[in-house]
């Protein structure tokens, strides 16, 4: 097996610039952050599963704008499905365009094996739709964005939204968890490429849980590529060509499957970039993300 695939076994917490620009010093960064959140109401630690696990919570950032049915960007953090937090999200700059931001936690693999993580993400989407009137959001304009393990989960939200493979949890089980578009930052997409040996002692093994002669089936069931179909939402996939953890072939695999199914997909391979980093939020990529969200959420810059 190629050495690059072994690196995927150590998928870890993403290290990305938390803002879309990098001011010259800490004071300037604080000033920009303060201005960005000045006209925003923040609700923290909202339980999207009633009386559920402590990780089944989200933070909601509501810009103080007029009008009804505002679009939403949902951030899903990385961390090898074993760590990470909703507390930091690079999506906050979209607040300036009147877009609501939700940042969610989900159960780690040490709390429950797959599919608990995607069940949580789908429950959070359903919760947002169920509370659309309360928070003045548009249930038909919800975008998802995630990195690394979070990229894996948002890709599943995109490709498996109509799948009945997993039992719905939480409230609003009659609502669809379908989203309008997906931004995937270097998420693993096809676990079956890792092979049986590679799947035993690594975060993916912890994710899928014990196996009993059904390893490949479990790897396929947790892979976004398994569920690709022609009615999937548009994808923007961003990947560093020097990523030591998630090989670029993982992003290419999902992109190719989406294109084969005639799903709009754009793959941005960033030269010299690793597993996250400033290149993902430089001017060119900020513009790419902004235009993608403008197009699909139908918002002004």
* 3 state SS for the chain: CCHHHHHHCCCCCCCCCCCCCCCCCHHHHHHHHHHHHCCEEEEEEEECCCCCCCCCEEEEEEECCCCCCEEEEEEECCCCCCCCCCCCCCCHHHHHHCCEEEEECCCCCCCCCCCHHHHHHHHHHHHHHHCHHHHCEEEEEEEEEEECHHHHHHHHHHHCCCCCCCCCCCCCCCCCCCCCEEEEECCCCCHHHHHHHHCCCCHHHHHHCCCCCCHHHHHHHCCHHHHCCCCCCCEEEEEECCCCCCCHHHHHHHHHHHHHCCCCEEEEEECCCECECHHHHCHHHHHHHHHHHHHHHCCCC
Domain contains 196: yes
pLDDT digits (tens, 9 = 90+) for 46-97: 999 999 999 999 999 999 987 779 999 999 999 999 999 999 899 999 999 9
Domain contains 27: no
Residues 6+ apart with CB under 8 A from 108: 55, 81, 82, 83
Domain contains 30: no
Share of the chain above pLDDT 70, in %: 88
Quick one: pLDDT band at residue 10, thresholds 50, 70, 90?
very low
**Distance of alpha carbon 16 from alpha carbon 274, whole angstroms:** 10
Number of domains observed in the structure of the chain: 1
Residue 9 has pLDDT above 50, yes or no: no
Quick one: pLDDT band at residue 132, thresholds 50, 70, 90?
very high
C-alpha pair distances (Å), 152 with each of 40, 42, 146, 208, 301 = 29, 27, 8, 13, 28
Quick one: pLDDT band at residue 201, thresholds 50, 70, 90?
low
Domain contains 23: no
Per the CB < 8 A criterion, the answer to whether 241 and 234 are in contact is: no
| Single pTM value for the model | 0.90
Domain contains 156: yes
Residue 120 has pLDDT above 80, yes or no: yes
Domain contains 32: no
Residues 6+ apart with CB under 8 A from 26: none
**Distance of alpha carbon 55 from alpha carbon 119, whole angstroms:** 13
The vertex-163 CA angle with 188 and 124, nearest 5°, equals 75
Domain contains 33: no
The CATH code of the domain that includes 243 is 3.40.50.1820
Q: Which pLDDT score is estimated for 36?
A: 80
- List the domain range (segments joined by +) for residue 216: 3-18+40-297
Domain contains 227: yes
Share of the chain above pLDDT 90, in %: 76
pLDDT digits (tens, 9 = 90+) for 27-52: 776 777 787 888 899 999 999 999 99
């Amino acid at each position: 097996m190629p050495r690059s695939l072994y690196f995927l076994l150590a998928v870890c917490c993403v290290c990305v610039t938390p803002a879309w620009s990098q001011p010259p010093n800490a004071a300037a960064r604080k000033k920009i952050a303060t201005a960005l959140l000045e006209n925003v109401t923040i609700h923290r630690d909202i339980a999207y599963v009633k009386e559920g696990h402590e990780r089944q919570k989200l933070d909601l950032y509501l810009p103080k704008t007029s009008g009804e049915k505002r679009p939403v960007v949902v951030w899903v953090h990385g961390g090898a499905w074993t760590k990470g937090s909703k507390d930091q999200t690079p999506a906050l700059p979209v607040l300036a365009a009147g877009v609501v931001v939700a940042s969610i936690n989900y159960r780690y693999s040490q709390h429950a094996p797959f599919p608990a993580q995607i069940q949580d993400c789908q429950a959070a989407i359903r919760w947002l739709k169920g509370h659309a009137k309360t928070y003045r959001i548009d249930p038909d304009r919800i975008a998802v964005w995630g990195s690394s393990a979070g990229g894996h989960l948002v890709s599943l939200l995109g490709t498996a939204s109509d799948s009945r493979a997993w039992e719905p949890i939480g409230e609003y089980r009659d609502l669809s968890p379908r989203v309008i578009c997906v931004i995937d930052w270097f998420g693993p997409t096809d676990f079956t490429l890792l092979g049986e040996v590679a799947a035993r002692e690594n975060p993916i093994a912890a994710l899928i849980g014990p196996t009993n002669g059904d390893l490949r089936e479990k790897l396929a069931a947790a892979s976004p590529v398994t569920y690709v179909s022609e009615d999937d939402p548009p994808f923007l996939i961003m990947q560093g060509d020097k990523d030591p953890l998630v090989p670029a072939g993982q992003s290419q695999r999902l992109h190719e499957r989406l294109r084969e199914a005639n799903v709009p997909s754009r793959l941005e391979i960033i030269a010299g970039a690793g597993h996250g980093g400033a290149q993902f939020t430089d001017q060119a990529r900020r513009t790419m993300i902004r235009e993608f969200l403008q197009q699909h959420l139908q918002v002004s810059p």
